[in-house]
Structure 1
Amino acid sequence: MVVPELSTIIIALIALAVIYFFFKTFKSLIVNAIVGLVILFGANMLFGLGIAYTWLVILISAIGGALGALLIIVLHVFGIAF
């Protein structure tokens, strides 16, 4: 029977596609987090903001990248958060 081999190949291709998209998304999150943290580090050094690097700050930076870092800075300057 050819069906078990064909179904195994289809399942392997689907698993490969899921793994590819997971790592592609994970890579972009890491790049965004690094860019956001570099911006936050620069803002802390230049302006002495004192923003702590917590998991929430890293998560916002990972999802939002540079815009997330700017959002954190604005919220900190206005005294709303961080």
Structure 2
Amino acid sequence: MTGLGVVLLLVLLALVVGAVAIIRAVTPFIVNAVVGLVVLVLAEVLFGLEVAVTGLTLLVVAVAGVPGAVLVVLLSVFGVAF
């Protein structure tokens, strides 16, 4: 294997390791966002509460999970935000 081949192999390995690290870091936020959106949909279906799903709503739900979704619903019910 030539020097260029070794360098390319090391670059490819670094890219794969970086991609795996990014996926591991982002996965909990994606799971929180999906579960939080399910909570928001259930709040709308079961209780008739309407919450606008915006970027800020998704951010709060993705970071805080179910408690964040409950907070968003409560803030919407009391007319404070969302």
Given the two structures, how large is their TM-score scaled by the length of structure 2? 0.75
The residue correspondences of 1:1-82 to structure 2 (distance < 5 A) are 15-82=15-82
Q: Give a deviation string over 1:38-67, Cα, whole Å, max 9, x none.
A: 000000111111111111111111111111
The TM-score with structure 1 as length reference comes to 0.75
- How far has the Cα of 1:81 moved from its partner? 0.4
Indicate the larger mover: 16-25 or 28-37: 16-25
- Residue identity (%): 39
Deviates more, 1:33-42 or 1:52-61: 52-61
Tell me how many residue pairs correspond in the alignment.
82
* Runs of 5+ unmatched residues, structure 2: 1-6
Write the distance in 2 (CA, Å) between the matches of 1:38 and 1:9.
Answer: 43
Indicate the residue corresponding to 1:4 in structure 2: none
